Every structure is written in structure tokens, then in C-alpha cells.
Structure 1
Amino acid sequence: MNLQQHKNTIADKGFSVISNVFSTEEIERISAVIQNIDTSKETFRKSEDLFAIRQFLKEIPEVKDLIFNENLKTIIREIFGENYFVVKSIYFDKPEKSNWYVAYHQDLTISVDKKVVLQNFGPWTTKQNQFAVQPPLDILENVFTIRIHLDDTDENNGALKVVPKSHSKGIYRPETINWNVEAENICNVEKGGIMIMKPLLIHGSNRTTNGKKRRVIHIEFSDRELPEELNWSERMH
């Protein structure tokens, strides 16, 4: 793993894919823990097209040691830096027959513990007692997202499609994309691999067409402290 090369690619293009971060056995162990959980809690969202667990690492603490193996810890330290901590985690399961797709967008909000009036923080949204807010740009620019793939993912089962370098253009409305100058890149990731991306990277995904499921663990990291009245809702070291 040439981590310096991945670090440069993320800075330049906004994303990079690293294979074989988890062994098949490690993925099976993580899957087994997820399969044995009580899915009736309100942080779980279940429909025919999507099963999602918000606050994943808080809800299922027993997966934490399995996820943060030596490979992942090294990647976080070498690519992000020493002071990064978890600020958000979600588990997504797109079932085999899912029609779920996601239009192009940037991830513009962070999860926080309460709603307070602060300069340059807003707009606010609330989902299932979860407060989310759009913070100042410098906070967003500093976040890294790791997507851990529990299944092989390609363009036929909802692999992310991204617009390379779009993370460096600030707030970029998807409807203003100029396809004469921008390119679309499909990010295939093998089971046990990860995709690292910057949240300002414009990304989306298509419907599943090959009858294969796609399960992803999405974890966001920051090294920034918020204004003292506000806390990251899922902060974890």
C-alpha cells in the first residue's frame, strides 16, 4: 500500500480506492455481527430499497474493534493525520432488488448534539432526533470519509459515481455541472476494499441492475473542534 500516493490522489481528485484492507474472514466477522442485531430501534431505517443504521458505531459497539484493524488505523494515521477522530457513521445495505439511487450531490452537513444559533452555521435539519447543520466551508474541507465495502461493488450494483476534482470548488450545485469540462468516474470497489473521499466531492449512485447486494459502512472523520456550545454528536476516538 503506497499511502503517500493515495494521499496525493485524494488531495488532487477528491477520492481514492484501496483494495484488501480487510480479509475475507474479517468481512465475514463484521457481517455476522450486523446480522445478529435488533433492527427495531428508531435509528434503523428499513424499506424494500434500503436498510440503514444511523450512528452505526454507537449502536453496534462490538463492530468497532473489527473495523479498526491495523490496516485501517495505519491508513487513518498516514493519510489523515494523528488527530483525526470519528464524527459520523452509517451502515447502508442496498438489497439485491433495490431501486434506490442517489442523485449527484455533495455531503454538506455534519451531525451535532443540539441546535444553537451560531454565525455561519446553517441551514439546520433534524431527522430522528439527529441534528444536522451545514458548517463553515473550512470544517467541511477538512473532513475525510471512509467507505468500507462488504460486497464487490461496480456500476451494476450502485457503485459511487463521482466528478473528480469537484471537492476543490467549494459549494458546487449539481445542476450547474458543466459536462463539457467535467468527467464522470465510476468507483468500483472490491469486497474488503475501501474508498476514501472528501465530502465536497460531487457523488451519486445508480440503481442496482445485476441482482447483487451492496453493503457499505460509511465513517466520517475530522480533527476540528466545533465552537464550544456545539459538539459532534458521534465523536469517538
Structure 2
Amino acid sequence: MLIDEQGYKIVVDVIDPDTCDDLAFRCHGLQKSSAGSRRLLDHGWCRQVGMEIQSKLVRAIDSIDHLTLVQCTYFDKSPTSNWLVTWHQDCSVPVSSRVDSPELTGWSTKEGMTFVYGPDELLAKMLAVRLHLNDSLATNGPLRVIPGSHRFGTLSDAEIERQRHEREEVSCIVPKGGVLAMRPLILHASSKSTSTVPRRVLHFLFGPMTLPHGLQWAPIG
């Protein structure tokens, strides 16, 4: 499967199960919200895992070799912390500071980090890589995607509805230690878990070295 055509790709056996257990232990208690924390790259062990994943995915996704690690978010969906996410695209990216430009919108601050809606030219080059620390099952709220929807840029609400009706969705069932790599612009959603099995994910975000409009990535570490 070509990620540039479908917008996503599942790769299994990227990180061994024992390491996944260790990562889940490290992440326990780090949550800043009910869903998780956006600042995992403040920890050296997380940066190391991100770089290891990047090196292991070069054969499957060669474009990742030209990207840099910019953010990692921890998600822990469980019976005690359960949520659903409606169909959307990931358009906010972490930057070092605000830049005054009429072409840049959607500024916000989350956990002390500055975010902006990335221009389509930037988002099209970015890659999210979701490392599953547990098996992703049909019952524990797996991510669902609409293949190919990333090719149409940032979509309006009406365009999102049209994509939902014109294209079939796919549930991304990923085994422990596997990754789901996806373009941030692909339409994705998830339902609440109906299982006692947690769905723990490290969501790494990679982007190009150079940003448009004078932007710079938020510092890490």
C-alpha cells in the first residue's frame, strides 16, 4: 500500500512487546488531561523511541527519512478515560512562537505550547506515526480512516460530510508494537471503547526541516 495514495499504512512488529510494556509504564501518570499529554518529547527516552521508529520505517515509508521529529502525544483510552472523536483532520502543528501573517490562522496555546493551523503545503508533507502499546481491537476504540481523503487538502464541514458518504471507512486494527502511519490531513475518527482492554498510543508527529512563512518548530527536550 502506498501511503501517498491511501493516506495511511500499517506496519507491524516495529517495537518489541517488552519495550511497549516499559513505555506504557513510563507514560503512566504523565497525563495532563483525560486523554493524555502532548509534551512527551520533553523526555529523552521518548525522543529515542521516536528516532528508532523513524529508522525502522525507512524501508516501508522512504519519505520519513527526510523528516524531523516535532511532537509526541500520549493517548490512553480505557474504561476510566473513554472518549469518542468525530471525523476530522489534524491541522494544528506546534511552533516556537507566533508569526504575524494573514495566511496563518488558528493560533492556540496548549500545555504551554504554541499551535497554529498548518498551511496545506506543510500538512501534505507531514507524517503522524502512532505506536500501539496494546493491541488495537475492534472493541477498544480503534482509529477509523477514510482512505484517500488526505488528497483534497483542508476540508470544510460540508466537504467532510461528502467524503463520508462517497468513500468507505476503514478500521485500523494494529497489533501491539505495530504502528499506524498516516498523513495528518486524512479524515479520521474513533468511537468510545466497549472493552476492558486499554488502547494506549504514542502519537509521534514528523515534519519537514524547513517551514513556510517564517515558522519554526517548537523546541523539544
Q: Contact 1:76–1:84 at 8 Å: present in 2 too?
A: no
Residue correspondence of structure 1 range 43-122 to structure 2 within 5 A: 44-47=31-34, 50=35, 52-58=36-42, 60-69=43-52, 72-76=54-58, 78-122=61-105
Task: Give distance in 2, aligned partners of 1:111 and 1:173.
Answer: 22
Tell me the residue number matched to 1:3. Answer: none
| Deviation (angstroms), 1:209 | 0.4
Change (3 A) 1:182 1:234: farther
Q: Which residue among 115, 128, 153 is the counterpart of 1:170? A: 153
Q: Which residue among 165, 168, 188 is the counterpart of 1:183? A: 168
Change (3 A) 1:46 1:235: closer
Deviations 1:182-223 (A, max 9, x none): 111111111110000000000010000012111000011112
Q: Would you say how many aligned residue pairs link Structure 1 and Structure 2?
A: 218
| Deviation (angstroms), 1:235 | 5.4
Task: Give distance in 2, aligned partners of 1:74 and 1:203.
Answer: 25
Report the AA paired with residue 87 of structure 2: Y
Change (3 A) 1:234 1:17: farther
Residue correspondence of structure 1 range 1-237 to structure 2 within 5 A: 6=1, 8=2, 10-35=3-28, 39=30, 44-47=31-34, 50=35, 52-58=36-42, 60-69=43-52, 72-76=54-58, 78-176=61-159, 177-178=161-162, 179-227=164-212, 229-234=214-219
Change (3 A) 1:213 1:175: farther
Task: Give distance in 1, aligned partners of 2:157 and 2:138.
Answer: 20
- Root-mean-square deviation (CA, aligned residues, Å) is 2.2
Instruction: List alignment gaps of at least 5 residues for structure 2.
Output: none
- The percentage of counterpart residues that share the same residue type is 28
Deviations 1:145-194 (A, max 9, x none): 10000011123111001111000011123443224421111111111100
| Deviation (angstroms), 1:29 | 2.5
Change (3 A) 1:65 1:180: closer
Task: Give distance in 2, aligned partners of 1:57 and 1:202.
Answer: 25
TM-score between both structures, scaled by the size of structure 1: 0.83
Structure 1 segments (4+ residues) deviating >4 Å: none
Q: Contact 1:148–1:217 at 8 Å: present in 2 too?
A: yes
Tell me the SS of whatever aligns to 1:103: strand
Change (3 A) 1:122 1:194: same
